[in-house]
Structure 1
């Protein structure tokens, strides 16, 4: 059972984030795009936090977040966007959908440990 689902189409970024989180005590699952992320979330009800890129093929992160809230009816899982996008309109769309947080890459692991533990109910 994973605590965090990392969703990114970049295998390098998935590995960096997942490896860092695993080394710091989180159970981590990964997905290659939004469609795969939805599938992983349906398979593992223990996921407490989704960390997702925005720009991905097949299904982008914001569309995935919207489907998590609407089609899956999952209001409990926290969703954080980890992206190069620093666009206010995208942030506002994310907030309206129910995105919990927005982190602009590059990924600074140490800075997220406390907040991620809190979001996962580990703090």
Structure 2
């Protein structure tokens, strides 16, 4: 699938080619790396494109999936400081969602921060 995407990106119309080469292909590589457990590659690829994903289109939910994969890779790679900003932003927007509360509590705990308000969520 990635190979056919690369072929398409090289042959596509010039006005969309930059988006394909600079956003869509790195995003695809990041998601493939994530699926294969190559978390450092996933982080490197997704980190580059997250701010630009809107150029590729898709819904907020679809773009959110890329951010979730990036966040998961950061947490699994113990890059808690990078993860903190993302998870705190997600918590501000969706503080009532238990998985976000658990992720925030976990990152806080790993960074040695107080997790008192999240104690009932930590497993």
TM normalised by structure 2 equals 0.30
Larger Rg: 2
- Decide which structure has greater strand share: 1
Task: Identify which of structures 1 and 2 has the higher relative contact order when contacts are C-alpha pairs closer than 8 Å and 6+ apart.
Answer: 1
- Decide which structure has greater helix share: 2
